[in-house]
Every structure is written in C-alpha cells, then in structure tokens.
Amino acid sequence: MKTLISGSILLVVALFVSSCTDTNEAAEPTISALKTTETETVETTEDTTATEVSEADLRDPVKQYKRYRKLSDIAWDKNPPSIDESELLQVATESFADALLASHLNAKTEGYYYENPEGYEEFMIGDIKYSQQFFTKDENDISIFSEGSTVRITTCEVDDSITKDSKTGSTLNTEEDNLITYENLVQMNFRDGMWKINGLNNVKELNGVVECKF
C-alpha cells in the first residue's frame, strides 16, 4: 500500500461543494467539479472500517470522513456503482447522500464506473476548523458537540482510479488522468450524535503525486 500523501479515490465527475457560512445552519451540497473557533492539524492512518463503530469514532470528524471515503470508493468500484444507503446515511447528510446516489445513477446511465487499484488508501489532513466548540465531555471523556455544529477539514488525496466502460471494460481516461493529487475542502455537520459529510469542494488539482502545501 502506498501512503506518500493520501489515498482515498476522489470522484472525478461528482464533486460536491458547500457554500461558506458563519452560521450553524447546514449548507446544501451541490454537484460541481465559518466562523472559526478551533484549529488543529493531524495526519490519519488509522483503520475505521470495523463493523462496530464506537461513540468516540462517531464524534471524530476525521474518522467519519474516512468511513465515507471507503464506502464511496467501494461503491464506485462496482459495475454499476451502488452503495448501501443505510450505511451511507451514517456518514453523510441526507441531501449529500441524495446527490451521491444521483451521480451513481448518472454513471449507470452513461455506462461507466471507477476501478480502484490497490494503493493510496490513506490521506493527509491539514487544518480542522470548528464553527462551534463542544460544550462538555461525557463520562468516558469523549467530546460532546451540539447538534448542527460544523467542521471544515482540508485534505490532500491522490486519485489513482481508472474510468472503465461498463459494457466492454475498456479504459476511458487517459494515462495522465490515472494519477491526480487533489486538495479538498470538506464540510461536515454534527447530526444525530455523529459527524456527517455535507460538502466537498475541490480546491486544487495537480497531475501526478504532489505534496500539498497546506
């Protein structure tokens, strides 16, 4: 497994962007290529794919985003793309989930999917900025956030996916498109006791494996 910079496959034709806001109201995602009170920088390589997810993991936006990326990668690797909607709603808001499902339907109609080669499963995290601080901690010293809180996360991810024709299995993208580094801005909302992705904005796109300058 390669872990130079990042790893989750970034969707090339289904990027979700949320509007910037200084309020706690969740922004609706759209399909396209905050007031800050806390900032932290971390790098994650932990596996969050276990069947049972702890309360601590549900309240960790990085781990929840990693769960989303894994579910999304697996879904796009299927021919045609498909995903367990109940699992998706554990990591994504309803509006964001609807947009992703619509992109899967479009891929099915157009006749393509993304083959997911081994490697680049990890990703690098830059700034983590919360629009609200947690108010307290529970008996297990786990942070408790208020409903509707927002966090924005900068990520650096390498896309090594290969676009495939659903009927013939032939490769549709060029060799240059097979390895792209993306710097993304991810927005997540705290709902139902867990962090859920609600927006994904592609900030930078560079050919090859390139170190992101956070």
pTM: 0.77
User: Is residue 21 predicted with pLDDT exceeding 60?
Assistant: no
What would the mean pLDDT of 136-158 be, rounded to a whole number? 89
> What are the domain boundaries of the chain?
16-207
Between CA 15 and CA 125 the distance in angstroms is 18
User: Is residue 36 predicted with pLDDT exceeding 60?
Assistant: no
Residue that is written with structure tokens 């896309």 in the block = 159
Q: Which helix (H) or strand (E) holds 108?
A: helix 94-110
Question: Residue 158: CB partners within 8 Å, gap ≥ 6?
Answer: 2, 4, 5, 6, 7, 120, 123, 179, 180, 181, 182, 209
Query: How does 177-206 read in b/e, with b if 16+ C-beta sit within 10 Å?
Result: ebbbbbbbbbbbbbbeebbbbbbbbbeebe
Question: Quick one: pLDDT at residue 3?
Answer: 28
